[in-house]
Amino acid sequence: MPTLIYNFEIPDPARPIPEAERGAVGPSAHLKPFYPTVLDPSALIGKRIDDVTTSAGTYGMGGPGFLALLLGEQWLVIALWGAAAWMTCDGRLIEDLFHDTAHRPEPWLAHGIDDLQQHIVGQSIESIDIAPKSLRITLSGGVDLTLSDDPATRPAFAGNGQQRAFAPDDDLRRAVFLAPTTELWV
């Protein structure tokens, strides 16, 4: 079960680390604490999606796979480990590594092809509803990004076969926020 509370650090732009000194997995600058503020969903209405990534966040040797949407200068981050495997876009899973063997429909990100990028970049946010165990972002043209409160809508974890489900005290409203970067160290 996920835990949606992380201690974040982000690079301090005033204290960059030269590329030769940071190594293959180091931060781009000295890190400083980052405390996400509670999101005001109404402030996102009309914002245009300029980019999308399913690999936001890092711990140095890898990443938690947060989903993030670039809205101008800020990233709207869904800080859920492997978020793309929990979410759908227009009813289709964003990511599902085992869709072939599980006989599920092909996700937006499959076989090295990213169909999600061209589907949502350039769209604007029309509404956003964040509840403790669900999320729905409606975009222009009727496109929607959804994290259903029903665990049956998500593929089970491949390793242990358990459903992707929230812990009783998890609250997505604490895990969806704006950040200046996707280089969020956890």
Residue 3 lies in a domain: no
Residue 16 lies in a domain: yes
Quote the domain boundaries for residue 157: 8-179
Render pLDDT for 113-151 as a digit per residue (tens, 0 to 9): 789 999 999 999 999 999 999 999 999 989 999 999 999
Residue 105 lies in a domain: yes
pLDDT over 80 (residue 64): yes
Q: What is the pLDDT of residue 41?
A: 95
Residue 184 lies in a domain: no
pLDDT over 90 (residue 111): no
Render pLDDT for 92-103 as a digit per residue (tens, 0 to 9): 999 988 888 878
Question: Across residues 29-41, what is the average pLDDT?
Answer: 95
pTM for the model = 0.93
Residue 3 — very low, low, confident or very high, per pLDDT cuts 50/70/90? low
Residue 2 lies in a domain: no
Residue 186 lies in a domain: no
Residue 95 lies in a domain: yes
Render pLDDT for 152-174 as a digit per residue (tens, 0 to 9): 888 888 788 888 999 999 999 99
One DSSP character per residue, the chain reads -------EEEEEEEEE--HHHHTTTS-SEEEEEE-PPPP-GGGGTTPBP-EEEEEE-B-SSS---EEEEEETTEEEEE-STTGGGT-EETTEESB-TTHHHHTPPP-SEETTEEHHHHHHTT-BEEEEEEETTEEEEEEGGG-EEEE-S-GGGSPPPTTT-------TT--GGGTEEEES-S--B-
Domain total for the chain? 1
